[in-house]
Chain A
């Protein structure tokens, strides 16, 4: 059926509008809720700006001061501390490496315990998962702060902080990887008379090992980033030097340290990309 548009009557239009009201615009209630939603959003933003003291004057002063700092940072200069800085960078890398290593050593058995298909008791793996969710919810920097209280200032606190916080995350990832294994090799190993430990060793481990390795490598990469800041709370490495230089206003050295961090992080990125392409 075709309708001649030129001869359509007003009554017909009204009838059509009643038949399919949504084609001609949103109903009033919906429009109101959209408008009120957006105005609540805008109101929240205005409240935040007011509450956090975002005055134009303060912003302007801060930006002016930032420009001044950027000028001071240029040209970056190590100020005769090149050896100390390099050693601190090495320390940061060592912290990331040892932290990741400890975390993965801990997370492999815990991941098995947290996997549904290894431990069929649901309460147990549920409990393991929730505990590690809790550990994961606490940032590495917070762990570092607590470890500084326990073992004192220095890179050891940083290593422990990375190890503990990553054990939480890696356990979750490992448990998920283990739950996703193909069942058939397990059945095969079991059918040939293997006990539970042997099923894990010959049925599960060969399947999940590449996944675990790639997770570990990724975590090493991200830990080099997070290890750079652990020093700010006193856990050693390049962050300690950086926070010190900011405190004493040696901005050319701050610039140098920032460049060092950028360079090292991108180097590690490249390295892990190469390793991943070649081995995994």
Chain B
């Protein structure tokens, strides 16, 4: 039974008064929280704007300029001679497609080498497969280092070490993919069922037998799926490492943008977008076939 106490100010009796009292307390606490977090947030925004030299006026001025820039890159295509206009827009299609092929091959080789590296490191990095005290920790730190340093930084250093061309780009992509895939692969390894491994051990198998006959059959479809996903990501990455001199379509794009050859910019970017979209669709299709439909629902 709730005591019927009258509110001294309003004269309202009982539960309504207690309810309003509690509600007021909760509401006040909520507003205090909002004020504190909002203040911190606004402070962070102001600080960031100060540090990164951004002002609203600059933003307002910059935006029309950018829209004009984008409009400048678009080609003039008239309806009555559309064929010749498009041919003129893509005047360099022969050279560009060979550069695009270079980029795709870089992504392919980078993914392949990265997956191979990840494959060798993921078994010692899995906690359930390795009993040595420090081996998993060392492998994990190494993979972490490889995936935290961005591809472009690896590419910068490798271009210095190996010289210009696709080779440093491939290696940069491979090292970064190795870090990213190695983590995913070792997580897959940690999620396997223990039964087959115990069977191999009971039959007298050593560590290599364990990995070959108990682990790999369980994890291979997942490995393949992750590798395909990485392949999609690496196509984007391989077009970007060209910016620092690692060949492919990225290098061409970099020089075209730097030289303000407007119409070529849109032609190359469109080419790149279409290629990436096509590859995404293909890889997605392959992954569905590898893992079966149930993995996606």
Q: Which residues of A contact B (CB under 8 A)?
A: 44-45, 48-49, 51-54, 58-59, 61-63, 65-66, 69, 87, 90-91, 93-95, 97-98, 101, 133-134, 137-139, 141-142, 145-147, 149-151, 154-156, 158-160, 225-226, 228-229, 232-233, 236, 239, 242-243, 246, 254, 258, 261-262, 265-266
Contact = CB atoms under 8 A, between A and B. Distances in A.
A52 B170 contact: yes
Interface centre among A51, A142, A232, A239 (most CB of B within 10 A): A142
**At the interface, is chain A mostly helix, strand, loop or mixed?**
helix
Contacts of B52: 91, 94-95, 98, 155-156, 158-159, 236
Contacts of A246: 156-157, 160
Interface of B: 44-45, 47-49, 51-54, 58, 62, 65-66, 69, 102, 105-106, 108-109, 112, 145, 148-150, 152-153, 156-158, 160-163, 165-168, 170, 236, 239-240, 243-244, 253-254, 257-258, 260, 265, 269, 272-273, 276-277
B62 A91 contact: no
Given A52-B109, A95-B52, 19 more contacts: A45-B109, A48-B108, A53-B167, A65-B160, A94-B47, A97-B44, A98-B54, A141-B243, A142-B253, A146-B69, A150-B65, A225-B148, A225-B150, A228-B150, A236-B52, A246-B157, A261-B153, A262-B148, A265-B148
B114 to A, nearest CB: 14
Contacts of B48: 93-95, 97-98
A158 B109 CA distance: 30
A155 B62 CA distance: 13
Contacts of A45: 109, 112
B53 A58 contact: no
Given A69-B157, A95-B52, A150-B65, A141 B152 contact: yes
B257 A149 contact: yes
Contact of B273 (A95, A138, A151): A138
Contacts of B244: 232
Nearest to B236: A139
Given A94-B52, A134-B273, A139-B239, A145 B257 contact: yes
Interface centre among A91, A97, A158, A225 (most CB of B within 10 A): A97
Nearest to B145: A262
Contacts of B156: 232, 242-243, 246
Contacts of A49: 109
